[in-house]
């Protein structure tokens, strides 16, 4: 249970505000709504596969074979913010589009549309 909590803490902690050098385009709120909203994103972290689903009602669901967490998402100052998944403190960061189906957080975690 502790490893599972640490894994989700690391996953959400990757949404920090220090962007890596961009290779693709930064996803703004309009692009997010058009390309990501209501579509499952997957990411690998420490051998676990996570699925994230951002819904139009402002909720985000983070799922793996070991845990389920729900929170909220919103945009602030051009950054995607998530709160409630790992405590109440929001974690914000840029989301970069690498290809039609791949995205990267500002800390370098790659996610793919299913």
- At residue 7, the pLDDT reads 55
- At residue 10, the pLDDT reads 53
Walk along the chain (114 residues) in steps of 10 and give the mean pLDDT of each run. Answer: 53 48 81 94 86 95 89 93 83 92 88 92
Residue 111 token pair:
């996610």
The CATH number of the domain where 96 resides is what? 2.40.128
What one-character DSSP code corresponds to residue 28?
-
Q: Which domain holds residue 39?
A: 2-113
Helices marked H in 1-114 — which ranges?
2-13, 29-35
User: How many domains does one find in the chain?
Assistant: 1
Q: How far is CA 42 from CA 63, 88, 114, in A?
A: 9, 23, 7
Rounded CA-CA distance 57/80 in Å is 15
């Amino acid at each position: 249970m502790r490893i599972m909590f640490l894994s989700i803490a690391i996953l959400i902690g990757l949404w920090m505000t220090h962007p890596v050098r961009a290779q693709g385009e930064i996803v703004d709120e309009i692009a997010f709504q058009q390309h990501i909203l209501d579509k499952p994103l997957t990411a690998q972290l420490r051998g676990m596969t996570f699925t994230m689903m951002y819904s139009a009602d402002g909720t985000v669901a983070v799922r793996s074979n070991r845990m389920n967490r729900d929170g909220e998402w919103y945009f602030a100052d051009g950054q995607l913010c998530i709160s409630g998944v790992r405590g109440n403190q929001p974690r914000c960061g840029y989301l970069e589009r690498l290809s039609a189906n791949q995205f990267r957080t500002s800390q370098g975690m790659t996610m793919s549309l299913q």
